[in-house]
Structure 1
Amino acid sequence: MSAPLTLPRRSLGLAALTLAFSASRSRGQDASTTTFFRIGTGGVSGAYFAVGSALASALSDPPGSPPCRRQDECGIEGLVATAQTSAGSVANVGDLASGVVESAFVQSDVAFMATQGKGPFKAGPVGDLRALAAFYTESLHLVLRAGLEAKSIAEALHGRRVALDEEGSGTLLQARFLLEASGLNEKDLKPFYVKPAAALAMLGEGRLDAMLVTGGVPMPPVAEAISSKAATLLPIEGKAIDSLLQRYPFLTRTIIPASAYGLAADTPSIGVTAQWLVSDKLSDAMAFNLVRVLFTKRTMDILAKSHPRGADITPANAFSGLAVPLHPGALRFYREQGLAPADAH
């Protein structure tokens, strides 16, 4: 799939742009053979942008790049991939459906809601979503300001100043699930709809009591707040959570390891799976090549260095909790490599 290079309304992954315009030797390609491929990610401080920027770099092989000795040492010939920041998973689905991006990282619950026309997608289902791969599990963090003691989720949130992330974020959707399970809604709080980095700053300044944020563990801003003694985590567990997980099978139990944030004990929580989605309009050949390059040793090494959760992006996890069908081109790759489960579709 090709798209003209225009000035994006969101920032781009610098690594991919550097690759695109600093090549040293031509392989006989010209501008007419260049394909631009945009990846919708998340905020600049989150795992999505870190992983997306690294992935864009690995996928890119623009005109003028040095020749490859082996196919698994390079990206897709003629491709210039870029990572674009966004408000999050809900916004990414909209951008993917409208063609603002060619692919996007989307949480499993958001993908499910989109295909069913539920939650933020009540205006109508988004039926053309297809998966390339599942990436890794993300945990919902319930972060409390230092000194705030609570014995339950409801006690921690009721009547409090709580950041729920921006409209368009996956976190806001999961926050609403959590409020529902706790017998609350947004009217029972003093809600703030701000990005995690801003929320953590407000928490440290005493202008917030709590915040919710979903992401790959560890999340650097959360780690900084906890290490500076400005915040701590509250476990997300109990009978109400058990019922929530039964109602919504795209949610899963997770454990935030004590070592991730220097805490005394592990923190039980709930989470979702980060997934790499495209439109069904993407060509089979491009989908095949995207997954082929994704699972080369070179790319997996690059992703593992981009963020701790990047090491979880492996063929073994590629089908975990997929909420939409695989793209036919991706499915062909998995079948040819003997990786596809018998029920993969």
Structure 2
Amino acid sequence: MLIGAQAAACAPGRGPVLRLRLGTGTEGGAYFSFGHAFSAAVADSVHSPVVIPVTTSASVDNLRRLDNKGSLALALTTADVAEDAIRGRHPFIHPVHLTALARIYVNYTHLVVRADDSVTAVRDLAGQRVVLGAEGSGAQVISQRLLELAGLTGSRAVVPEQLSLMGSVEALRGRSVRAFFWSGGVPTPAVRDLSREVPLRLLALDTYVEPMRKKYGPAYTTVAIPAKPYGLDAPVPTIGTGSYLVARPDVPHDAVYELLRVLFARRVDIMRPVSAGARLEPRFAISTGSVPLHPGAVSYYRSVHG
């Protein structure tokens, strides 16, 4: 049996329904929102498999579960983590076999501090307690790489914390940490809600994009977090990386084709809670770097573009 999938009871007028578990992310984040919105859209389609969103720590956790001994058939992941998985680079111990369905939107790296804090740049975090992200998250991968490039190692290292997004929000609200990293869409609901209670500052990270690209590859780009969603004074330039919807290679061809048909037919509803200005279009969705498109995805995009 396909790992991460199972046949459900027959629906009226249908054969057995394929049930596919989708690894999302933590509550309050864009992957969590996308997974539930996508599942609901798929449920409205008579011909689609059932998509079951599973709460996880996000990217790294998802691809580990998607691996041979995992429990997922579908997953959401950042592009950099997907590249690491394909190549078997740290934090993975061997190459992970996965295929892409679509590049769905851009993740924005948030480095969040309180507006009344004296921290104004990454270097100010030396020796401070900082949330690097949840264990197994894409945020943790980016934050560790960025802090190393910023020289916050050895005696200048931060005191790292590993918390979920909601845990990070509570820690900053309670002043038990000076900052937290988060990688997600804009607005991220949990960060937006915190900004309405506690004025926030997001630190600019764009100067680290080129060093990140030189050391880890082209998955990183310069993007700007809009000011309005978090009540900021101006947009904040930061590190962006694509988000992919991926699948195990053994997910059936027809199931992938139908999932993509629903994704693009219902994209406005699905993307609304995910990221401001997200552009989910077939011509951009096929840009999945070294991650090969699933054969069912190839068929879908050919049916769209000819």
Whether 1:47 aligns to 2:18 is no
Say if 1:102 and 1:199 are closer, same or farther in 2 by CA, change over 3 A.
same
Equivalent position of 2:300 in the other structure: 333
Say if 1:137 and 1:191 are closer, same or farther in 2 by CA, change over 3 A.
same
Structure 2: any 5+ residue segments left out of the alignment?
A: none
Distance, in Å, in 1 between the alignment partners of 2:129 and 2:63 is 29
Equivalent residue pairs, number? 300
Shift of 1:322: 3.4
Question: CA contact under 8 A between 1:176 and 1:185: conserved in structure 2?
Answer: no
Equivalent position of 1:318 in the other structure: 285
Whether 1:28 aligns to 2:13 is yes
Whether 1:170 aligns to 2:138 is yes
AA in 1 matched with 2:90: G
Whether 1:268 aligns to 2:247 is no
Question: CA contact under 8 A between 1:136 and 1:309: conserved in structure 2?
Answer: no
Whether 1:185 aligns to 2:185 is no
Whether 1:306 aligns to 2:273 is yes
Say if 1:218 and 1:306 are closer, same or farther in 2 by CA, change over 3 A.
closer
Question: In structure 1, which of residues 98, 109, 130 is the aligned counterpart of residue 99 of structure 2?
Answer: 130
Question: CA contact under 8 A between 1:113 and 1:120: conserved in structure 2?
Answer: yes
Question: CA contact under 8 A between 2:173 and 2:198: conserved in structure 1?
Answer: no
Whether 1:279 aligns to 2:248 is yes
Question: CA contact under 8 A between 1:300 and 1:311: conserved in structure 2?
Answer: no
Question: CA contact under 8 A between 1:217 and 1:309: conserved in structure 2?
Answer: yes
Question: In structure 1, which of residues 81, 86, 97 is the aligned counterpart of residue 56 of structure 2?
Answer: 86
Within 5 Å, which residues of 2 pair with 1:203-282?
Answer: 203-238=172-207, 240-247=208-215, 248-282=217-251
Equivalent position of 1:343 in the other structure: none
Distance, in Å, in 1 between the alignment partners of 2:280 and 2:211 is 30
Q: Relative contact order: is structure 1 or structure 2 higher (C-alpha 8 Å, sep ≥ 6)?
A: 2
Identity %: 32
Shift of 1:153: 1.1
Equivalent position of 1:23 in the other structure: none
CA deviation vs aligned residue, 1:25-61 (integer Å, no higher than 9, x gap):
x7423xx612111111001211111111111111125
Equivalent position of 2:74 in the other structure: 103
Whether 1:3 aligns to 2:6 is yes
Question: CA contact under 8 A between 1:273 and 1:320: conserved in structure 2?
Answer: no
Distance, in Å, in 1 between the alignment partners of 2:299 and 2:288 is 19
Alignment RMSD: 2.3
**In structure 1, the residue corresponding to 2:33 is in which secondary structure?**
helix
AA in 2 matched with 1:331: V
Say if 1:161 and 1:148 are closer, same or farther in 2 by CA, change over 3 A.
same
Shift of 1:285: 1.8
Distance, in Å, in 2 between the alignment partners of 1:81 and 1:198 is 27
Structure 1: any 5+ residue segments left out of the alignment?
A: 6-19, 21-25, 62-73, 340-345
Question: CA contact under 8 A between 1:142 and 1:233: conserved in structure 2?
Answer: yes
Question: CA contact under 8 A between 1:106 and 1:275: conserved in structure 2?
Answer: yes
AA in 2 matched with 1:76: H
Shift of 1:111: 0.3
